[in-house]
A = this chain, B = another copy of it.
Amino acid sequence: MTGITRLPHPEPADVALTDVLFALSDPARLEIVRELAAGPLTMAECGVTNPDLPKSTKSHLMKVLREAGIVRNEPDGRRRLVSLRKDELDAVFPGLLDSVLAAD
């Protein structure tokens, strides 16, 4: 056993558009999504652009993003690997994530 819990992930089709928009509407959450657009990161690497973020706050941000179907957060050995569910989101809400990531 790894000691790292598997977390639940909704199917994007089961997530309301408003939940996705809400998850993206916070600057700290949006910053993490931007970081993940370049590729998966370990939980420890997420939020490097926001180093003063308390660990408990970061855990909560990641939970909101996961529950909105925006990120996948999976055990990877002793670490957690976080990835953007871009293809899945694109299938349900075409163009949404691209337009958000393209904006400054």
Contact = CB atoms under 8 A, between A and B. Distances in A.
B25 A21 contact: yes
A56 interface: no
Q: Interface residues of A toward B: which range?
A: 20 to 34
Copies of the protein in its oligomer = 2
A96 interface: yes
A-side binding surface: helix, strand, loop or mixed?
helix
Nearest to A22: B25
Given A17-B30, A18-B26, A94 B102 contact: yes
Contacts of A94: 99, 102
Contacts of A93: 99, 103
Nearest to A92: B103
A24 B24 CA distance: 11
